[in-house]
Amino acid sequence: MKKIFYLALSAAVILMSATSCKKDKKEEGGGTPTGISLSKPALSVEEGSSSTLQVLFTPAGTTAAVTWKSTDETVAIVDNNGKVTGVKKGSTTVTATVSGLTPASCDVTVTEKGTVDPTLHPSLQGSEYFVIFLDETSRAKIASKIVQDLGPDDLTKKLYVWDNSYEFKASDGPNFYGVVKPWTSVSVNSEAGYSGAGIYLSNFEFNGNDKTTTPVAPYTTLKRITDNPGDYYFHVAIKGNATSTSSAFFGLPAGNNVELKFAIGDNFPTNEGTVYSIATLPKDGEWHEYDIKFSDLLNLPGNSTFAYTNSVTDTNLFSFMAGAAAKTLDFDAVFIYKK
């Protein structure tokens, strides 16, 4: 049995106008690019829905003005930020052009509104996914809707553990979506009274545990969450059992090295004060789903600051703690998405 916890508050939505062919303002950056590509070679959107493409510059860290164009504006339009909006059912090609370079293109398919696969779990029927931890089978079902992969890759995003305070364990049985695929399972082995881990987005690529001199392009897509906190949700599933922690702490970047902090279970004490709980954590051996609106996180004590910028780098993308030694934390399906 899966139990669902929802939090919802109203929030203002900032609507952005769309045009079929516009040019970005050139940002201050490090040099002239020698090539470009797009974040997705293919994209599927519903009529009236939107998804945003990113231009990836080579080498990383360079930038230039980009012109966007849709070959068939009656099917889909694109604005000067690469936001593609479906107009009617059909196919078109969206092209990004930088003067002097080979254009990059994305094949866009627009489907009829209301044609989302009803067999998908409701949490996989949204749009604009920022994936942190998700099994490969479930990831494939939303591949065309992934805006940014925030999960560890040991190149630019490093999974770290504080002072060996966690032992990662092999997971057993079906995950939250009923797929026999791994989920994240940790056991606290620290006697120091604390534990923690997280995913760190570096400003330089890693070689093993050492940073190189190769810069990492800042993430620009997270700012849309700041602009529309009432539209985006943080999703996580936790499996509670007899050895589970009584409280799980989660942190998300809020800008300027500040985190949005919240707990599931009991309130979570830290050296910086109490982190408040948003829901209970049953220990019944079942998966429990938590769907938390960003605007609700802002209303928790201590979470008044929230400002993803156009340049997110050198920060924690996600962090978690599980309390005392010998306690466990099993979680899965961690992502941010738009309903």
The answer to whether the beta carbons of residues 61 and 29 sit under 8 Å apart is yes
Residue 66 has a pLDDT of 96
- Looking at the chain, the domain(s) classified CATH 2.60.40.1080 span 16-115
- The closest alpha carbon to 89, from 71, 113, 107, 105, belongs to 113
pTM > 0.85: no
The answer to whether the beta carbons of residues 182 and 135 sit under 8 Å apart is yes
CATH code for the domain defined by 157-338: 2.60.120
Residue 115 has a pLDDT of 62
Which of 2.60.40.1080, 1.10.287.180, 3.40.50.300, 3.40.47.10 is the CATH number of 16-115?
2.60.40.1080
Residue 22 has a pLDDT of 47
Residue 192 has a pLDDT of 58
Residue 8 has a pLDDT of 35
Q: Environment class of residue 41 by beta-carbon count within 10 Å: exposed (0-12), middle (13-18) or buried (19+)?
A: exposed
pLDDT above 90 covers a percentage of the chain that reads: 33
**Distance of alpha carbon 264 from alpha carbon 286, whole angstroms:** 15
Kindly state the tokens that stand for 317: 């993308």
Summarised one tens digit per residue, pLDDT across range 162-194 is 888 888 888 888 999 999 888 999 988 866 566
- Looking at the chain, the domain(s) classified CATH 2.60.120 span 157-338
Summarised one tens digit per residue, pLDDT across range 251-283 is 886 555 567 889 999 988 887 788 888 899 999
Residue 30 has a pLDDT of 63
**Distance of alpha carbon 9 from alpha carbon 337, whole angstroms:** 16
- The closest alpha carbon to 130, from 260, 11, 8, 223, belongs to 223
- Amino acid in position 267: N
Backbone torsions φ then ψ of 311, nearest 5 degrees: -140, 85
DSSP per position, 196-254? -EEEEE-SEEEETTEEEEEE-PPB-TTHHHHH-TTTEEEEEEEE--TTB-SEEEEEEEE
Summarised one tens digit per residue, pLDDT across range 196-218 is 899 988 888 888 778 888 887 77
Residues of the chain whose pLDDT is less than 50?
1-28
Rounded alpha-carbon distances, angstroms, from residue 53 to 42, 82, 201, 228, 311: 10, 5, 21, 18, 16
Residue 235 has a pLDDT of 95
Residue 254 has a pLDDT of 59
Residues near 172 by beta carbon (within 8 Å), at least 6 away in sequence: none
